Amino acid sequence: MVSSARGTYDFVVAANRLPVDRHVEPDGTTTWQTSPGGLVTAMESVMRDREGAWVGWAGFPGEAPEPFDDGPLRLVPVPLSAEEIADYYEGFSNDTLWPLYHDVIVPPTFHRSWWHCYRAVNERFAEAVCEVAAEGATVWVHDYQLQLVPAMVRDRRPDLRIGWFNHIPFPPVELFAQLPWRASILRGLLGADFLGFQRPDDARNFRRACRAVLGARAAGDQVRWDGTDDGRTGAGPRTVRAASVPISIDASGFQRLADSPEVCERAREIRESLGDPDVVLMGVDRLDYTKGIRHRLRAIGELFEDGDIAPPDVTFVQVATPSRERVEAYRTLREQIEATVGRINGDFSHLGDTAVHYLHQSYPREEMAALFQVADVMLVTPLRDGMNLVAKEYVTARHDGGGALVLSEFTGAAEELRAAYLCNPHDIEGLKETIVRAIRDDPAEKSRRMAALRRRVRRHDVQTWAEEFLAALASAPQRPRGRSRR
Ligand code: ADQ
């Protein structure tokens, strides 16, 4: 199915969402604002000075707007109908793949109709990519929503260099094997030249899955697949590199923001409005069952109960960004969390002294930076997380060298941020002990740890990540076919 259509962009990004959301003002005019989430936060600064096209869904059902320019970036909206949003996005992406790839924390749902829709939407993304990509262009596909796109693009445009980055974990084959469409997903990914993962274990899981499911050979970080069971795409033999390239944040940009007098002043205001406690504990997450918010609240509730912490000296702030509210598991989780916060506050707050401040809202970056500065102990305790950018943002925002990071071993960030107070969030007793230790440890020890954490994030920022990814893609083992040499 080699297509003759050629675009003009040498660099094309494809992600489920465009980096902007449409807002319709009361007077009917349309504005575009940065959309929330870890992927956009990371890619925004990478794309700032690059010319290229970004293919993605604009965030609302029905016809897509015409492609438009946002600075040097061409934004190419892909349409999704209301039914496709339900089946491809909320269904297959967020209720099949998301739980399966996060250790089956909740059971994944398998529906054949969702799968068919996922395939159809991936085709649409692939077509849009091929239309804008110039001869020999580099295409960077993102995340679990678009795992079939690499092979679909290669099928149409063998001249392109195709990379894919997985923002979330890749599960062990023992879990991945549950997926009825496991072979198709792997075939889809093997259409890429380079596959980037957050942790070495994720890349290893992928290579093991290729061996077990497709009978491919894996040597070092390369997968060799003869393509024999792939009658449909006709991909032919493939040699694909699959390795870890951990994502990071725009450390200098975020530090500049956190250093600004406005943010520092706002941090003082927030602390004062909390009643100027001795210790502010904080959690900042999308409201997602992978983030371990229930386990964290359990530990915090017991610490209040045991008298280890008490308001007004110690208070806990939980920021929970609204997320995927049309998926059943997320609605249930929200009810559970809000009931638990209510119970803890009923038992341990006093008039004027709140035990748990719960904020179910999204905030601008400036407010996030101010909140981070207020946190004496940041609790990042997911049950499973690809990386977790909040951990990296927090240590960067604490430019005063204060603070302490309690970090789950089950995050990608724990591979790098070894100087954090590491914890197993399933072990409530251990989690309580780690929180108390992070509160009471010697200030010199705390600041030594924070200095090490800040150093690591500064040295490995998002630009380094993007450069590493693109260098690995450029030197991928297999040359694209039919590419004119330049
Ligand atoms: P997410 O699961 O969205 O990302 P995370 O890495 O923590 O998780 O990024 C969240 C981002 O949203 C952070 O930049 C944070 O500051 C911001 N944010 C959180 N709460 C907010 C609020 N209330 N208002 C405004 N902004 C808020 C996915 C994967 C992660 C991976 C990233 C990037 O699940 O494991 O780290 O992609 O690859």
pLDDT of residue 234: 52
**Distance of alpha carbon 216 from alpha carbon 207, whole angstroms:** 9
Ligand 1 centroid vs 370 CA: distance in angstroms?
Answer: 16
**Distance of alpha carbon 343 from alpha carbon 341, whole angstroms:** 5
SS3 304: helix
pLDDT band at 227 (very low <50, low <70, confident <90, very high): confident
What percent of the chain has pLDDT above 90?
84
Q: Name the nearest CA neighbour of 415 among 445, 476, 456, 366.
A: 456
Residue with the smallest CA separation from ligand 1 atom 23 is 362
Q: What pairing do the DSSP bridges indicate for beta strands 222-225 and 217-219?
A: antiparallel
Q: Of 402 and 45, which is predicted with more confidence?
A: 402
pLDDT of residue 295: 98
CATH no. of 2-247+465-474: 3.40.50.2000
Tokens of 58: 């604009």
Residue with the smallest CA separation from ligand 1 atom 2 is 38
pLDDT in tens, 85-114: 999 999 999 999 999 999 999 999 999 999
Q: What pairing do the DSSP bridges indicate for beta strands 52-57 and 68-70?
A: unpaired
pLDDT of residue 25: 85
Q: Of 326 and 184, which is predicted with more confidence?
A: 184
- Give me the interface pTM, i.e. the ipTM: 0.99
pLDDT band at 379 (very low <50, low <70, confident <90, very high): very high
Protein residues whose CB sits closer than 6 Å to any atom of ligand 1: 36-39, 41-42, 167-168, 247, 284, 286, 319, 321, 361-363, 368, 385-390, 393
Residue with the smallest CA separation from ligand 1 atom 1 is 38
Q: Name the nearest CA neighbour of 284 among 459, 36, 44.
A: 36
pLDDT of residue 229: 61
Q: 417: Cβ–Cβ under 8 A, 6 or more apart, which residues?
A: 391, 392, 395, 405, 407, 453, 456, 457
pLDDT in tens, 437-448: 999 999 999 999
Residue with the smallest CA separation from ligand 1 atom 10 is 38
pLDDT in tens, 254-286: 999 999 999 999 999 999 999 999 999 999 999
Cα first-last separation, the chain: 25
pLDDT of residue 43: 83
Q: What pairing do the DSSP bridges indicate for beta strands 9-17 and 52-57?
A: parallel
Q: What pairing do the DSSP bridges indicate for beta strands 30-34 and 20-24?
A: antiparallel
Ligand 1 centroid vs 235 CA: distance in angstroms?
Answer: 35
- The residue type found at 341 is V
Ligand 1 centroid vs 329 CA: distance in angstroms?
Answer: 19
pLDDT in tens, 330-368: 999 999 999 999 999 999 999 999 999 999 999 999 999
Ligand 1 centroid vs 19 CA: distance in angstroms?
Answer: 14
Cβ pair 392, 420 in contact under 8 A: no
Report which DSSP code applies to 236: -
Q: Backbone dihedral region of 82: left (phi > 0), alpha (psi from -120 to 50 degrees) or beta? A: alpha
Q: Name the nearest CA neighbour of 129 among 146, 104, 117, 110.
A: 146
Cβ pair 52, 10 in contact under 8 A: yes
Q: What is the mean pLDDT of the chain?
A: 94
Cβ pair 474, 161 in contact under 8 A: yes
**Distance of alpha carbon 236 from alpha carbon 145, whole angstroms:** 24
pLDDT in tens, 381-400: 999 999 999 999 999 999 89
The class (CATH top level) of 251-460 is alpha beta
- The residue type found at 312 is P
**Distance of alpha carbon 47 from alpha carbon 243, whole angstroms:** 22
pLDDT of residue 29: 87
Helix 261-273 with 251-259: angle, nearest 10 deg = 70
pLDDT band at 34 (very low <50, low <70, confident <90, very high): confident
Tokens of 255: 């530090």
Question: Is pLDDT above 70 for 50?
Answer: yes
Cβ pair 244, 194 in contact under 8 A: no
Q: What is the mean pLDDT of residues 170-177?
A: 98
Q: What is the Cα Rg of the chain in Å?
A: 23
Q: 194: Cβ–Cβ under 8 A, 6 or more apart, which residues?
A: 163, 164, 240, 241, 242, 243, 469, 472, 473, 476
Structural domain spans, the chain: 2-247+465-474, 251-460
pLDDT in tens, 185-200: 999 999 999 999 999 9
Q: Maximum CA pair distance of the chain?
A: 73
